[in-house]
Every structure is written in structure tokens, then in C-alpha cells.
């Protein structure tokens, strides 16, 4: 049990313990709802409609996955050192060795993925810097501090302690600085008061709020039968306070729906508290030191398949069965494809709640594959929408020549998928901003980014 902290990485450890060990479901849902809440501010929702990322149904699913992946990456992996003394580690953490093994889950405290994710977010926001106000960014940041505590206190098996709430504030205060957000209140109480005042002044109804909220709600209902959509929409409305509900133009949920929601969460909290054992490992949608579980993987064989590859140092040729020991042959091979610079190591989300963007195909014969076969037979899933299908793949991934016909038909290709943090964002921007993202990431990280998550500008 961590009972005190002085460094932001200690604060992050506390947040991870509560978010990934004690309350993974509610913590994740509260972050999703925090983003949803920002759509009640017209200046935010109108920009999202203008960019087309949540104003068009065909873009909403990818935007949801990109946002989820980037946020969870910069929250989960060790936050950037930036300009903090001791790299954000408290002296007690260093003495106890916590800074060496990052919470004993085999993680590297020098993992650069949080820095890369924040740098990518900064690049994507920077494209609209004249339209995104500092106050809107600051308000969005405040929802990530306020909503998790509110949801956990209301719906979980125990309340957050004052220390856990302070840790949440400290973590996002630091993340806000990494995002160049200015004038962030310096205490949790001041930040909460500022956020509430901002809502009173700016959370008002405009049609753009409703349009963005509807697209987002449709994503939440992705896996539900259409017969349940009406009930589910009322359930979503029951989670809103009056200020947010009126700003989005939603009718008040019937009283019985509100009661059903409260009873359901109450039963869940009681069962969790009385009958469930503590978790032995964290539940995270981004892989935590989990090479063994398949959510961190290399597509080296696909990158080099069919491409004459030569080690730039030794001249070793892949066609002779030799490879460059540091993967240089992959970069040479990649450069021979038109502007193709993606790297071999990729990540995959642990689960998908709606469209399986970036997901690899289920292994043939697995339970997931069989479930898809059943859904296709019943007509509830189109063959071209199954995991690993071409429509979910980023264009940065190479398709071996002998499989291109299969890909053009929309059929899944085994082993092909996953994402790189520096490539996430709207379609067409996968390879944009690499130089800027790399420079920002290395500045945040406090040094050169090396290893499997390095990338070329």
C-alpha cells in the first residue's frame, strides 16, 4: 500500500493501482464518460463536427479507438520526466527500488510510449491550434480528474481515499503541463471549482452537442441488438446530470430506468466487495509488460516478406537466410515501398467495445473466430467487418504480394494489424508529423528514444 508520495510517478502508481486493480471497469467507463461530457460544450462539439472525426459515422469508430489508445497509453506507461527533479521519482521510491521495476510487473521505467502518445496528441491538436482554446483543453483535462472520482464514489464497492483523489489530480496536472496547457489551478479544490464555473457559463444546448453525442452513443450500442437500443439510450441518459442532459437535448430518463441503474450498480458493488478476491494482475486495455499475452508483437516476417532486404552495415542478404541483428534490413526494405516507414513492433488493445479498428484477425478455430462465423451466418455481422478485415487496417501496413488479392476482397490476413502510437489519428495522417512527434517525444522523455518503440522521422 502506497501511503505517501512526492513524485508524479508515485502518483501514477497510485492511480494505476486503483484504476487497473481495484476498479478497472468503472475507471475506464468514467474516462469514456469524461470525454462524452465535454461534448456538452458547443465550442468543443462544433470543432469535432467540423473536423469530421465525430460528425461522420464512418470516422467515429476509428476516432474512438485512437482517442482511447492514446489516453490509456499516456496514463498507463511511465509518464514523461519532462523537467521534474529525479525524473518524477520520489526519493523513497528510488530507495525502495520501485523506480527500477515499475510496480513489479516487469516494466521498464524508461518506456517511452507515454511520451510518444502525448507528443502525438500535441501534434494532432496543433493542427487546430487557432480553433482550440486553452480553456477548452483545461476543461477537458478537469473531467479526467473529476469524473473517475465521482463515478467510483457513486457506483463502486468503496470510495476513493483523499490520497487517491490527490494522486489523480497530480497525475493529470503533470499531463496537462506535458500538453502545454497553461493556468491549471494548483489544487484539486481550485480545479474542481474552476471546472464547475466553466460548465455553468459554457455548457448550453446547441445542435452540434446533440449530433456528436448521438454519434458517440451509437458507438456505445455497437454490440447490442437493435431491439435494445431504445432502452440503452434511456440508460445512457440516466447517467447524465441535468446540466449535461439539457445541453445535449436529451429527455429525462424515466424514474424506473434510474432505479434500475442504481440497483444494478448496487448489486455489482456488493458482489465485488463480499464475494470477489483481489486481482493478482492489472487489467489494462493497453498491454502492460505483456509480450507473452500476444498484445505486443512484431510483424517482422510480413515486413520482410517478398522484399529484397540487405543489412546496411554488413551486407547480409535476407534471401540468403541472414538478417541484420538490429533490424536495419527492415528499414532498408521498408524504404523501398512508397514512403512506407512503419516499424515492426506493434501493439493491440486487449478488448474492443465497438469497431475493431487495428485488431488482428482471430486465430482460425478459436472461440472468437467461431463466434464471428455464427454472427455472419445469422446475418448480424458482415464478412468484411470481422476482425482483421482490410477496412480496419491502417494503410501503413505492408501486404505481402501473394495476399493482396485476398486483402482487396476484404478478407482478414493472419498476423497483420495492431498500431503504432506515432501513427494514430485521422485517416491520411498516419505518416504525417513524424519529425515533430519524434522531437516532442524526445523532449518529454528527456533523451533519445531507442529500442522497439523508436521510429524514424
Cell of 327: 533490424
Instruction: Look up cell 523501398; give the residue.
Output: 336
pLDDT over threshold 70, residue 98: no
Degrees to nearest 5, angle at CA 112 with 108 and 114: 105
Look-up of cell digits 449535461: 244
- pLDDT tens-digit readout, 235-266: 999 999 999 999 999 999 999 999 999 999 99
- Decide if 122 contacts 440 (C-beta within 8 A): yes
Is the predicted pLDDT of residue 195 greater than 80, yes or no?
yes
Closest CA to 61 of 395, 407, 392, 429: 392
Rounded CA separation 371/375 (Å): 6
Q: What is the pLDDT of residues 360-373, one digit of tens each?
A: 889 889 999 999 99
**Model confidence band, residue 393 (pLDDT cutoffs 50, 70, 90):** confident
Cα gap 346→343, rounded to integer Å: 8
- Label residue 373 left, alpha or beta by phi (over 0 means left) and psi (-120 to 50 means alpha): alpha
Average pLDDT over residues 192-209: 98
Question: Among 72-86, 221-235, 398-412, whose mean pLDDT is lowest?
Answer: 398-412
Q: Which phi and psi angles does 345 have, rounded to 5°? A: -80, 130
Q: Of 26, 42, 23, give the one whose Cα is nearest residue 34.
A: 26
Amino acid at each position: 500500500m502506497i501511503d505517501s508520495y512526492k513524485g508524479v510517478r508515485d502518483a501514477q502508481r497510485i492511480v494505476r493501482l486503483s484504476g487497473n486493480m481495484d476498479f478497472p471497469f468503472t475507471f475506464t467507463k468514467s474516462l469514456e464518460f469524461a470525454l462524452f461530457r465535454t461534448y456538452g460544450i458547443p465550442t468543443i462539439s462544433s470543432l469535432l463536427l467540423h473536423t469530421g472525426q465525430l460528425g461522420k459515422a464512418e470516422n467515429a469508430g476509428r476516432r474512438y479507438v485512437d482517442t482511447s489508445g492514446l489516453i490509456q497509453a499516456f496514463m498507463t506507461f511511465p509518464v514523461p520526466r519532462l523537467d521534474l527533479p529525479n525524473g518524477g521519482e520520489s526519493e523513497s521510491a528510488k530507495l525502495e527500488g520501485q523506480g527500477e521495476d515499475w510496480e513489479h510487473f516487469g516494466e521498464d521505467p524508461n518506456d517511452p510510449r507515454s511520451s510518444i502518445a502525448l507528443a502525438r496528441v500535441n501534434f494532432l491538436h496543433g493542427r487546430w491550434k487557432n480553433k482550440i482554446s486553452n480553456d477548452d483543453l483545461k476543461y477537458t483535462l478537469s473531467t479526467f480528474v473529476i469524473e473517475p472520482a465521482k463515478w467510483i464514489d457513486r457506483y463502486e464497492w468503496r470510495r476513493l481515499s483523499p490520497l487517491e483523489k490527490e494522486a489523480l489530480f497530480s497525475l493529470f496536472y503533470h499531463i496537462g503541463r506535458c500538453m502545454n496547457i497553461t493556468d491549471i489551478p494548483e489544487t484539486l479544490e481550485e480545479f474542481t471549482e474552476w471546472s464547475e464555473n466553466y460548465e455553468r457559463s459554457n455548457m448550453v444546448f446547441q445542435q452540434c452537442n446533440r449530433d456528436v453525442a448521438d454519434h458517440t452513443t451509437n458507438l456505445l450500442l455497437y454490440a447490442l441488438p437493435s431491439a435494445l437500443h431504445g432502452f440503452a439510450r434511456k440508460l445512457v441518459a440516466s447517467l447524465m446530470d441535468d446540466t449535461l442532459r439539457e445541453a445535449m437535448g436529451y429527455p429525462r430518463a424515466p424514474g424506473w430506468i434510474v432505479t434500475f441503474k442504481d440497483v444494478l450498480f448496487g448489486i455489482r458493488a456488493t458482489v465485488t466487495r463480499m464475494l470477489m478476491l483481489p486481482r493478482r494482475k492489472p487489467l489494462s486495455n493497453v498491454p502492460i509488460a505483456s509480450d507473452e499475452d500476444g498484445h505486443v508483437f512484431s510483424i517482422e516476417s510480413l515486413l520482410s516478406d517478398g522484399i529484397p532486404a540487405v543489412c546496411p552495415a554488413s551486407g547480409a542478404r535476407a534471401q540468403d537466410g541472414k538478417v541484420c541483428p538490429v533490424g536495419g534490413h527492415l528499414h532498408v526494405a521498408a524504404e523501398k515501398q512508397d514512403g512506407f516507414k512503419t516499424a515492426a513492433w506493434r501493439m493491440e488493445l486487449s478488448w474492443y467495445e465497438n469497431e475493431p479498428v487495428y485488431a488482428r484477425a482471430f486465430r482460425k478455430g478459436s472461440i472468437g473466430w467461431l463466434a464471428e462465423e455464427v454472427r455472419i451466418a445469422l446475418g448480424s455481422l458482415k464478412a468484411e467487418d470481422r476482425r482483421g478485415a482490410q477496412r480496419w487496417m491502417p494503410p501503413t501496413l505492408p501486404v505481402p504480394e501473394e495476399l493482396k488479392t485476398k486483402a482487396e476482397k476484404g478478407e482478414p490476413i493472419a498476423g497483420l494489424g495492431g498500431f503504432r502510437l506515432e501513427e494514430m489519428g485521422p485517416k491520411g495522417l498516419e505518416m504525417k508529423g513524424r519529425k515533430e512527434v519524434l522531437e516532442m517525444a524526445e523532449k518529454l522523455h528527456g533523451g533519445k528514444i531507442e529500442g522497439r518503440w523508436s521510429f524514424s522521422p
